[in-house]
Amino acid sequence: MERLLKFIYEYRAFFTFLFLELTCIWLIVENNRFQSSTYFNSSNRMAANVLGFSQGVREYFSLRTINRDLAEENAILRTALEQRNQRIFADQVPEIKDPLMKNKFEFIDAKVFSNSTGFYKNYITVDKGKSDGIEPGMAAISSMGVVGKVKSVSDHFAVLISLLHTDEMVSCIVKQKDYFGTAQWDGSDMRFTSLRYIPRHANPSVGDTVLTSGYNSIFPTGVLVGVIHSANLSGEAPFWDIRVELAQDFSKLSFVELVKSNLKNERDSLERVTISEIR
């Protein structure tokens, strides 16, 4: 026993090294599991405040662009609202009675505190958290298009998995053709994402719009993802190789909207029951 202790003491540097590296590996593996609510990330209050301050300084220089984008979005929304009002007035569309169906999705706006685009796994920190009703698994969109998904929340902050994350998948549909596939980032260029699993017999063409399909109940149906930039079909491949130009410029992200899906639980439990019945 004494000799063992002596041995450990002699090589204490190596054992400390081994122990700490194993701790790190455990932390990395634990963190890679989706939608955990870990505390040690930038949703930590102090870290988020520091990042928020630096974002505040940076944002000061781009206020003009942000203002213009918001004004443009206002105009678009106003037009859409007016059109809808006109239609309701003209056609007497019956009003939806069920409050849950009426408010299928709730939108909570949040300010981006920190964002990155250069890694393979990029995360976004925002200034809304548990106390504002944010939960892991909620979708994040912006005025331009899809942004990502909530990974973990603290009381006042949340960390989102950016669409620029090699493990993040979003179910998509090609608007003009109605074929559906999955958008997954390949890790190279922040302006493009790849659209996978579009079958051989489909005929996507450059310029087609790609929207969220709404099949996974996280994202609302029809949120813009991007526009097809190139579509290739190599020899024997079962699927098209499609690059989509993202609608959202991730280097200029300042505000996001978090989408709370009020029917998600109901839908998920129904689907789970169906799947277990089939088995």
Partner 1 sequence: MIRSGLVHIVLFLVYVFVQAMLLKNLVLFNSAFCFLYVVFILSLPFEFSTTLTILVGFLLGFTIDIFYSSIGMHAFATVLMSYLRNHWLSVITPQGGYDTGNTPTIATNGIQWFLVYTIPLVFIHHFVLFFLEASGFDMFWFTMLKIMGSLLFTMIVIIFLQLLVPQRRKI
Residues near 222 by Cβ (< 8 Å), separated by ≥ 6?
Answer: 211, 212, 214
CA distance from start to end of the chain: 56
Backbone angles phi, psi at 176, to 5 degrees: -70, -25
Go through the chain and tell me how many residues it has.
279
- Name the minimum Å distance from CB 152 to partner 1: 9
Q: What is the nearest approach in angstroms of partner 1 to the Cβ of residue 113?
A: 11
Kindly tell me which of 16 and 221 has the beta carbon lying closer to partner 1. 16
- Tokens for 184, please give them: 């997954």
Tell me which residues touch partner 1 (CB under 8 A): 12-14, 16-17, 20-21, 23-28, 30-32, 38, 40-42, 44, 47, 50-51, 53-54, 58, 114, 116-121, 123, 125, 159, 166, 186-188, 190, 251
Q: Which is nearer to partner 1, 42 or 212 (CB)?
A: 42
C-beta separation of 198 from 240 below 8 A: yes
Shorter beta-carbon distance to partner 1: residue 41 or 213: 41
**Among candidates 151, 170, 273, which has minimal Cα distance to 221?**
170
Closest to partner 1 by CB, 54 vs 65, is 54
Q: How far apart are CA 218 and CA 265, in angstroms?
A: 10
Distance CA 279, CA 274 (A): 9
Of 56 and 207, which CB lies nearer to partner 1 in the complex structure? 56
Q: What's 115-155 look like in SS3?
A: ECCCCCEEEEEECCCHHHCCCCCCEEECCCCEEEEEEEECC
The burial of 248, by beta-carbon neighbours within 10 Å (0-12 exposed, 13-18 middle, 19 or more buried), is given as buried
- Smallest distance from partner 1 to CB 266, Å: 32
> What is the nearest approach in angstroms of partner 1 to the Cβ of residue 273?
35
By beta-carbon proximity to partner 1, the closer residue of 83 and 188 is: 188
Smallest distance, Å, CB 69 to partner 1?
A: 20
Here the tokens at position 208 are: 């087609």
Of 253, 232, 234, 258, residue with least CA distance to 243: 232
Which lies closer to partner 1 via its Cβ, residue 66 or residue 75? 66
* Nearest approach, Cβ of residue 252 and partner 1 (Å): 13
**In the complex, least distance from residue 132 CB atom to partner 1, rounded to whole angstroms:** 19
Our CB check for partner 1 shows the closer of 79 and 188 to be 188
Residue 27: CB minimum distance to partner 1, A: 3
Instruction: Decide: helix, strand or coil at residue 184.
Output: strand
